[in-house]
Each structure stands twice: as structure tokens, then as C-alpha cells.
Amino acid sequence: MTRLTIAVTLLALAATCSARTHSAGNLFLHARDVDEQYDYIVVGGGTAGLTVADRLTEDGETTVLVVEYGELSALTTRLGSDDSIKTVTGGFAGISDPSHLFTIQSLPQTNLANRTIAVVAGKVVGGSSAVNAMMTIRGTVDDYTRWGQFFHDDDDDESSHWSWDGLLPYFKRALTFAPPGEAVTKEAGITFDTAFWGTAGNDTDGTTPVYAGWPSFQYPGTTAQIEAFRGIDGVPFVNDSGAGEAGVYWYPTFMDPTLVERSYARTGHHDRAANRENYHLVTGSRVLRVVFDGTTATGVAVVPVSPEDGDEATETIVGVRKEVIIAAGGIHSPQVLQLSGIGPRELLESAGITTLVDLPGVGQNFQDHPILRPAFTYNNFPIHPNPQDLILDANFSAWTDTLWNTNRTGPKSLATGNAAAWLPFPIISPRALNLSDALTTQNHSLSLPPNTHPTVLAGYRAQMLSLASALASNGTAFYNLILTGGATNGIVVDLHPLSRGTVNINTTDPFHTSPVVDYRALSNPLDVAIMADLIRFTRRYHLSNPLTADWNATEVSPGEATQTDEEFETYFAESISPSEYHPSGTCAMLPRELGGVVDEELKVYGLEGVRVVDASVFPTLVGGNTCQPVYAVAEKAADLIRFGPPEGYERA
């Protein structure tokens, strides 16, 4: 983003901020003011939607309208106000502002002591990329090969263009990699390999508008905690996070290295497209449904989120010449399809909606990353400075503030951190083969609701058989431990949960209420055993590791009394969250006979002119944070839309 773009956008915002009754340039505040028809309409101005819209309008001729529920947050720079979205420090400032978030509560979770869970997603231009923890993670080669293999029965990676090789060019296109500074690289021992990344002027089309950057400081304890994994046999160390390998490694942050601010879909894509006459954005608006002639999309029905007097029932129909691209995320994309008559027939009929296409998989296969909360404290952690010194050491805190206020360097340039372990299950657990066999032979139908459609059950079984193989392999990361560089540690993530939930419209008032979200946490009983072994391994790292012994760790939670799987099940019921804010899978890219919603070109089965492009198409979760994969999928989708599938591709 150039300084000129910043200035132009600021002027545009200044012209529009005084009242919602005016529009400026290509930013619209009412759907009634947009053009009557566009080549493409993108439903959702988030991570995927803005990426696709930017790429489609690069030619200056293709017209695109983006419809976003949230608003355009005021653009700020280092000379402006302290906007929560741009703030890097700590990584969680964006999510601290409720105005930027959808806040939905899940159904009570039967296996989690009937707790309800906050379902969090970005509600602002930029979507969840504006409010996430800024972790720039890809996952492993096997995560993406698995996607293609659901369509093809052989083990040939090239049998599908959904594979690591098929996505790596789009990972590289999606981001501009800005290496860490020479001093911090040497001092912390950071490793990286730019061969896995896009760099300015070195990618396929000359631009990678979203940054993967690095802070100017690392706590020395982080390096020590990385090295401590060498005290456990078999733990792999990876030179670069983008290599697609499981192991312990450093990884970058979604951060503009010059401004030292969050880099996200709004700054990287909307602001890049903002002055194109063929790119339009309407905010504060909701797509109620897709409009069809038969099964061909002809437009969308849009209503205002906050109607003005007399506008509550106003519905604006905007026409589309080519395609409607649904990019509303794992929670709201299935809602849009179901409200449009595409989904499980029984559900739609109970809501009084005419079924256009009976597609049982819409809203099913819901996945997210569960967060486990073991807590360990080091009683003798002699490595300083560390994060606790920001509170306990006044001199260090003052020095930190001085560096930040002077030139935006130092500890405040750190988000959530830049190092972690992402490990395969055979390293984690001595019973990896046994659990793999148990998952293979399990009666998979018992883990799904009793009325599950046979195609959805078939898809679930295919996923479980694939993950059973992954449990016994070193190619898929199941375990994630973030390294803080400090004397307290607490978050472990289960990267491949086996349980599946649902996201469906509220049948009592489908058009005016939020979707009904059910994580169905721990509905597959093997999740308990896997998660228990994740914590047992974490104990091993902290308590039975010769390279952490001198730090004298104390286990705060769950505590020594929790040892058996049954005891862990009780602990999990009270402590885990089934969500790391990575909702996925609800419009799965799978064969239709496996409960799929979209095909390998992301086209919705049974329709013409409708695709889905966001994390809802992930058939299985990746072993990492979902933001970078969403960017890559969106970049690939833009090419599928513009140029069709790769040469030589044959539909399964």
C-alpha cells in the first residue's frame, strides 16, 4: 500500500464519515445506490472476498460488487489514532473491539458440561484477517494432498490440482515476505528460506499485497524453549514455516514491516482496488439470498443491516452477469446457501423455504481447532528479559516504551510470538498405532447425529480413514504448542479434531436470526484419548525433559491427579474451548456422494453461476491457523474463475 493510496483513502473516508446517507467514489453505504448489474458479486468483504475481488478487477474492465455486513474501519497510520485493528502489540487488539465482531453463542455443548461457546468471526471490511492473532502458518504438505485425494483414489499428488504443489504458487503469490532484521535473526537464531515465499518483484504477477513480516525483537527465552525440544527424541526442526513440514520452527506475522501495523485483506486488497472504477464495495449490508432463474444465479437480494426509518422491509435486487461468489466464512456461507434454498431438504422445509437444490452437506461437517488449557509455571527461569519483566521490571518496561514511541521497535513489535511446535502424533504418543487402528475400525455413524444423510456419513467416514492414516504418520501435525519466551505456558491446540458439528439456519425465524451453531465437541470419543496424549506430551516437555529440568516447572492445570483418559474427559468438559476461531468445513469441497457442497472448481453442485470461496470449503482442517490457507485458496479461486482449471485436469 503506497502513501498516495493512504492519502486518497483518507480523503474518501473523510467525505463519508459524517453521515450514512452519502456515498463516495466506489464505496457505497446503501445497496439501493449501487449499479443494477455486475459481472461478479462477492458476498462477504473478508479475507477471501477481498482477495478475489481485487484479482478479478485487476484488468480494469471486469465489474465486481463486494457486499459486506460490517463497516469500513477508519484507516489509520502511525500518525493517526490508535486503532485496535492496526495494533500489533500482543496480537489480540483487533479482537478486543466488539464492534468488529459477530457475537453468536453456540448451542449448549453436551460433552462440555452444557457450556455455550462464543462463535467469533470478523464483522468489518477485512473480515477475520482484521481481528485474528496475526499468526502466519500454512500446515503440512499432507494437509493439502488429503483434499485432492478425496476426489481421486490413488496416491499420486498430481491427480488433483488441490495438492501442495497445486497451492504453493498461490501461497507465494498471496504474501510478500519481509525477512527479519539481521541483528535479531542472528541473536535469536531465526531460520527462514525465502524460496517458499513471494517477495516483492519476484512473484508471478509482480505484486503480493499482504505482508508476512517480523518484529524487531525476540525474547531470548523463546530461543531456549525451541532448543529444549532437542531433549525429546525424534522431534524434527524445520528451517522455514512455509516448507510444509511438521516440526519446531519460527514463523512470521501478518505485519507491514515499515508501518509496524497489521497487514490484512483490507490494507492488502481493498485499498489496492479502491480507486478502480470497476470495483465497488457496499458496507452495512447483508445478502439475504441468492436470486435464481431456475438453477442459474441472476443476482442477490440485499437488505440493510441497520435499516433507516421505513427501510426495514426494503430489499434491493442486484443483478449478476456471470457469478455470485459466496465468501461469507464458515458460519455465514452455509446460511446464505440455505436461505437461498440450497441445503438439506428436511431442514429447508421445516423453515418454510422452498428447496431449489437438495444438498445435504450444506452446514454439516463443521470443524474448528479445540484449545486445551494445561498450565505450567517455571519456578527458576533465569532468562531475562522475558514477558513477565514488562510487569515486574520498571526499567525494562520504560525501555520498551521508549523504543516503541521513538521508532516502533522493541518488544511492542511482537504480536503473539513467532515460534511454536507443530508435531506429528507418533512423536506425541506411544499409542499412535493403536489409536489409528481404533479410528479405522470405529463405527463412524455413532459420532454423528442419528438422522445424518448417508452421503454426509460417507464423507465423514472417508475423512476418518484419512486421519487414521495421518495419526500413524509423521506427515501431519496434530499438536501445537506456542512458545512464549516466558516463565508461564498454557495453550495447546488439537490440530485435527475428529468430532464434527453443524451450522444451520434457525428454522423458527430463518431470515432474521443468526445461524444455530453446534460444535458437537467430543462427539467422537477418540478425541478425548488424542487430547489426553497431547497434554501428556506437554508434561513430558516441561517435567521430564533434561533441557527444561533446571527451570523447575510446576504443573498448575490439570494437575497430578488427572492421569487416566476418564479423568481427562472430566477435565476437558470443564476447561477446553472447541474453537480457536477457525470455523471451517461447512460447504465442503468433496464429491457430492461424500456430502460435498462444491466441486474442485469451487462450484456449488446443481447450480450455475455460484461458487464458494472461504474456509467453509476446507474438507478437513489444516494443521495450522486458517488465515494463510484462506488467502491461498482465494488466490487459486481467482485463477479458476478467470482461466478455468489447470491444463490436463480431468474432473473426478
**Calpha distance 87→91 (Å, rounded):** 7
The answer to which of 6-15, 256-265, 361-370, 622-631 has the lowest mean pLDDT is: 6-15
Angle between helices 432-441 and 526-543 (to 10 degrees): 170
- The pLDDT of 98-109, averaged and rounded, is 94
Q: Which pLDDT tens digit goes with each residue over 590-621?
A: 999 999 999 999 999 999 999 999 999 999 99
Say yes or no to pLDDT of 271 above 90.
yes
Among 614, 607, 624, 626, which residue's Cα sits nearest to residue 587?
614
Q: What is the mean pLDDT of residues 150-171?
A: 82
Nearest 5 degrees, angle CA 41-CA 46-CA 52?
A: 50
Asked if residue 201 has pLDDT above 60, the reply is no
Q: Positive or negative, the Cα torsion across 260, 264, 266, 272?
A: positive
Q: Is the pLDDT of residue 493 over 80?
A: yes
> What is the structure's pLDDT at 647?
78
Cell reading at 515: 445461524
pLDDT of residue 648: 67
Mean of the pLDDT values across residues 149-169?
Answer: 82
Which pLDDT belongs to residue 209? 82
User: Widest CA span of the chain, in angstroms?
Assistant: 70
Residue 612 labelled as part of a binding site: no
- On whether 287 is known to bind a ligand per the annotation, the reply is yes
304 forms bridges with which residues in the sheet? 285
**Does 380 have pLDDT greater than 90?**
yes
* 289-305: average pLDDT: 97
| Least-confidence region, from 78-87, 106-115, 180-189, 521-530 | 78-87
The pLDDT confidence band at residue 207, using thresholds 50, 70 and 90, is low
Question: Which residue from 46, 56, 49 is spatially nearest to 638, judged by alpha carbons?
Answer: 56
Which cell numbers hold the place of 396? 525494562
What SS3 state is found at 257?
coil
How many other CB atoms sit within 10 Å of the CB of residue 508? 11
Q: Is 300 helix (H, G, I), strand (E, B) or coil?
A: strand
Q: How far apart are CA 553 and CA 543, in angstroms?
A: 6
pLDDT digits (tens, 9 = 90+) for 133-146: 999 999 999 999 99
Distance between CA atoms of 93 and 516, rounded to whole angstroms? Answer: 27
Instruction: List, in order of start, the domains of the chain with CATH numbers.
Output: 194-262+368-575 (3.30.560.10)
Judged on CB neighbours under 10 Å (0-12, 13-18, 19+), 409 is: middle
Q: Could you write out the three-class secondary structure of 593-637?
A: HHCCCECCCCEECCCECEEECCHHHCCCCCCCCCHHHHHHHHHHH
Q: CA geometry: angle at 107 spanning 536 and 468, to 5°?
A: 40
**Separation CA 160–CA 166 (nearest Å):** 8
pLDDT recorded at residue 418:
97
The cell for 633 is 485458496
Nearest residue to 375 via CA among 243, 514, 553, 236: 553
Tell me: the pLDDT tens digits for 299-344? 999 999 988 755 556 899 999 999 999 999 999 999 999 999 999 9
Q: pLDDT by residue (tens digit) across 417-438?
A: 999 999 999 999 999 999 999 9
Report pLDDT for 18: 31
Q: What is the mean pLDDT of residues 384-412?
A: 97
Count of alpha carbons within 13 Å of 368, Cβ hemisphere only?
29
Question: What is the pLDDT of the chain when averaged over all its residues?
Answer: 92
Collapsing DSSP to helix, strand or coil, 59 comes out as coil
Overall average pLDDT of the 640-652 stretch:
81
- Residue 36, judged by CB atoms within 10 A of its CB (0-12, 13-18, 19+), counts as exposed
- Residue 85's pLDDT is 95
Angle between helices 432-441 and 454-471 (to 10 degrees): 160
Query: Residue 448: which pLDDT band, with cuts at 50, 70 and 90?
Result: very high
Q: What percent of the chain has pLDDT above 70?
A: 91
Look-up of cell digits 463486494: 66
pLDDT tens track for 568-598? 999 999 999 999 999 999 999 999 999 999 9
Most confident of 76-85, 99-108, 515-524: 515-524
Q: Rounded distance, CA 173 to CA 185, Å?
A: 24
Q: Are the CB atoms for 517 and 417 separated by under 8 Å? A: no
The pLDDT, as a whole number, for residue 157 is 46
Share of the chain above pLDDT 90, in %: 87
Mean pLDDT to the nearest integer, 7-11: 35
CB atoms within 10 A of CB 48: 34
Q: Give the pLDDT of residue 651.
A: 61
